[in-house]
Structure 1
């Protein structure tokens, strides 16, 4: 008998698959031992036959060795390649499509427990339905691919145009900065020429003054010798018109006033203000470091020295407040705020980078601004405010400006008078520069290398006030 004809006889009616360890029951029907055990009711008593419903006792189970051997032989024959269109498990024609497992199955598979709850459809209907869906999907994917290829072409076009724009922009930058370099070089030469002209004029004036003084000295020497000889002459010779030499001596006057030489040509670089603004930072006053006489407003950007001049020591000159004030001896204990000098620090702590801020004077009284180390709040002698103790600052008023250094420096008159100063700290270069915030003119530069931490520094004379303008650009 062919294997196909034995399919039904060698199949368990419970699992619809080849017998596994077949057993016979009292009515003569055969089942897999495992399938039969799973169909028993709890309790272990008599059970009905799954086919004829005749009762049978569990003790009546007998192994069917002949059926087991025949099933094994048939199974071995079917271990070869499965013919197309047949179920690899039951060797039946694939006539159904299981929607849950998404694969074709045979009629025997449909009756098995594995597929009893699954949705089935005739294989030709499933083929037509899924073929239509796949064709629709193919059309949709083709449209998407065309769109993606179009976008890719646009992206390539945009990238090419962008590269060209970048190339042109780079060329424009080079051309514009070349013009700027040329312009700055011309400006540099112009300022150097002005400086050279001023130097020549000053030297000429110096030479004229030196010649004038030399002539005066020579004339005085001659008169001294003449007066000396006249005074030693005999009586009759001395009385020969003595009034002439006396008159000439009285008329000989040293009519000369020494002039303090200053450099009038100011270093004013075009666009300096704009370049400095790129590094502008917001600076606020640290009120907890301030002298008790200082009062604040505008969210820590405005400060005024509330003490009148009468409450501070008097000085002999406008700059005496900085250079001549002597306070009690310096204490050695650590302090958290200024106790002796009308100073205050900024909240900022600079450890690296470039930083720029501006300070505006609200009156014509003296104020000093700059940077300092954090450990200078115990200073008690204002004449010591200098780089030597860790303060790099300039002091200014309507009378002019001067750097705070160890020795006395005459103030430099500024026209028009300074009312706003810019402070630029280049921490890596170790430079602190001061500029007129109005026109960007350079005022002074300190060198302070190897200082790790620096803070903004402010000093105010009696009744003086200052404000830190709000930042409108920069960092």
Structure 2
């Protein structure tokens, strides 16, 4: 550590800090280059420059010469860290010199030179510089602490061992006790290190979990945004459909009423004609002419009046019930789609098992597309191969909620659904839907049905159905079919108690169908 006097000699008189890039004026005084430049700048235009220390005058701006020697000294002093203790050698009385050791017996601090000449006997205990002598001596006997009492866990002096209250106790030297304590501390440190590592692992795990949750939240947010965009689109489509139905009914009623009005206008003209004729008869003076006219009852056609009254009554009103059912069904389909999107997992890894494909079924390379072929595929006649034109998936489902989709737009005769792996592979009973081990949606031309165990449930004709979604809730025992029109349309849900894993199954009578995803 540099002495205070030395540091004071290295202080710039302008900034009062140790020199930075010191320079010298012709008068011999030194300053930081930046400091003296700033002073000289303020003296520009005054006609004379002066030294801030001695007021020596210079007609021209003085040339600043770097003081290399002083620069080296300042850099060296700045590189030496100041002692935090501020303890100096007791015997260096002329200038403070940092203490290297402290002697407890002498209660004196020693610099490097005085340490070399100090008493080396055991009584003179040297340790790091300190001024806390009381902590190093026995509070009772005022002697240096040399031992450690294991029973009382206290540092003691020699007198404590011989005549004090620790006489006869188990004791050790401070070094030995210190090493034991250090060993205990190392063990504690090891345990703490292990706990810290475990804590770090948990922190990393939680951070990873947080990242996963953030990614999941971002994914769900994106999905929700897309879903609400679709909902708004579906609601607009439903609104157009309902308004179109209202307009259709209004046009039908209006047309019917217009026809009735036209008929009644004709009838009104006829009645007016009869009324004019009767008025003419009433004004005639010839009784023969009056009496030769038809009976008065012929002029009144009560049945015709009643018939027109019935027609007016039969015009009817807007079918509000149909409009309400259309709205409810449309909203129900939208809600069903939302539920599927969020409670079910889309099965995108469904591929077809060529070992089960009939030889009239051609499987494309992606193993997601099946087409009816007139060319025999000449596959081995294994027990698991179907004879009818169908194929099942490799993957099966034995729990959870899942859905998968099929593009059926290139076929007008097909069946899609799910079946047990124990389904027959030969004979009519192997066709999906015609047994108690499979469930399917069937189409032939524009006719649709849901079939299980040869029981047919007729669906509406002319469904806009180029894509079909199959939704499975295994635990609930539900298998649902949807038409992915715009908006999605729920077609039918079958309920069963599933006893085996379920495989996706395709039956292609004409054309080709493809599993999406």
TM-score, normalised relative to structure 1: 0.39
Of the two structures, which has the highest relative contact order with CA contacts closer than 8 Å and spacing of 6 or more? 1
TM-score, normalised relative to structure 2: 0.36
